[in-house]
Amino acid sequence: MPQQTQSSKVWFITGGARGIGLSLARQALANGDGVIATSRTLSSLRQALGEDRARLLALEVDLGSEASVQAAIEKTIATFGRIDCVVNNAGYGQQGTIEALTDAELRRNFEVNVFAPLRVLRHALPHLRQQRSGHLFNVASIVGFQGSYAGWGSYVGSKFALAGLTETLAAEVAELGIKATVVYPGPVRTGFLSKDSLVVAERSIADYTEAQASLDLHLDGLDGQQAGDPEKLATLILQAASVAEPPVHLFAGKIANTLAEQKMQTVRQDLDAWRGASDATDFTD
């Protein structure tokens, strides 16, 4: 394990009432860290984490509202004096073929999965920049690296966007002593395939049989059978936050690692096969 940094941290976690966010909040509290857990409803946080106490602040936050996010960050600073780790974990899956998805369905998915994390970052970064320290975690998915899944274009696109933004973010904040990591979990045994986290497009097109088969598999065969353990994934994030040189790309689980390797091999094959034709598109002196 690389060199450890300070052990006591303050965590700001979106989607803290269930799944990965809840596991991370509980483990951080058990480690003696401060935790700000946010969710759409305060009642869900109270049920999951109990009442506020010295190291826990539960906040009902509308991630679609600039004012709500700003107020949450300000309350965090007023309570704890700093933020060390920001975890953009909230999000949901949108199923539907690209032809069938409506503009409204696409925009809502990107609003939650992309623009909400950006909103959190905008209001958290001034404090981390002043501290000249901090670690930003954006929880994507392995589909944000390997996107070959019929019927999941909106979700894939939103997670690719979050991954790309994190790469740029890491380059921007490095000189300020701030780290940024995109987390790529494989299938995790959370409520992701429940009605609260998976939305199916209103329209389906019969010709797209692969997309329907993928949806049926996820709803009938995978729910509750996912290989990933949210507790172990939370531990992995805590480990990444504890080292002096954390990864920009953090893959989680054997499935994620295998799919990432397959993607890199496929890209290498395409690159090699078309190298000559590609190189020929440059101006020649």
Residue 22 inside a domain? The answer is yes
Q: Which two tokens stand for residue 85?
A: 């780790």
> How far lies 176's CA from each of 62, 67, 188, in Å?
29, 26, 33
Range of weakest confidence among 1-5, 44-48, 112-116, 183-187: 1-5
Active-site residue identified among 92, 149, 155, 184: 155
What is the per-residue pLDDT for 219?
73
**At residue 59, does pLDDT exceed 70?**
yes
Residue 284 inside a domain? The answer is no
**At residue 107, does pLDDT exceed 50?**
yes
What are 138's strand-pairing partners? 88, 182
CATH number of the domain to which 120 belongs: 3.40.50.720
Residue 155 falls in the annotated catalytic set: yes
d(CA 241, CA 280): 44
Please report, to the nearest 10 degrees, the dihedral formed by the alpha carbons of residues 71, 73, 77, 80 taken in order: 110
Cβ contact 210:149 at 8 Å: no
The count of residues in the chain is 285
d(CA 78, CA 64): 22
Residues 64-75: what's their mean pLDDT?
A: 98
What is the per-residue pLDDT for 49?
95
Residue 283 inside a domain? The answer is no
**At residue 129, does pLDDT exceed 50?**
yes
- Residue 181 phi, psi (nearest 5): -135, 135
Domain limits at 105?
10-275
Residue 281 inside a domain? The answer is no
What are 135's strand-pairing partners? 85, 179
Cβ contact 117:162 at 8 Å: yes
Residue 229 inside a domain? The answer is yes
Q: In 3D, which of 220, 180, 177 has the Cα closest to residue 85?
A: 180
How does the average pLDDT of the chain come out, rounded? 92
Residues 69-73: what's their mean pLDDT?
A: 98
**At residue 2, does pLDDT exceed 50?**
no
Sign of the dihedral defined by the CA atoms of residues 94, 95, 98, 104, in that order: negative
Residue 230 inside a domain? The answer is yes
Residues 171-199: what's their mean pLDDT?
A: 82
Q: 3-class DSSP state for residue 237? A: helix
What is the per-residue pLDDT for 4?
36
The tally of domains found in the chain comes to 1
Q: At what angle do helices 153-173 and 116-131 cross, to 10 degrees?
A: 10
Cβ contact 59:74 at 8 Å: no
What is the per-residue pLDDT for 204?
93
Q: Which two tokens stand for residue 223?
A: 């729910």
Residue 1 inside a domain? The answer is no
What is the per-residue pLDDT for 223?
61
Residues 84-112: what's their mean pLDDT?
A: 96
Residue 83 inside a domain? The answer is yes
Q: In 3D, which of 12, 59, 19, 67 has the Cα closest to residue 40?
A: 59
**Residue 189's pLDDT band (boundaries 50, 70, 90)?**
low
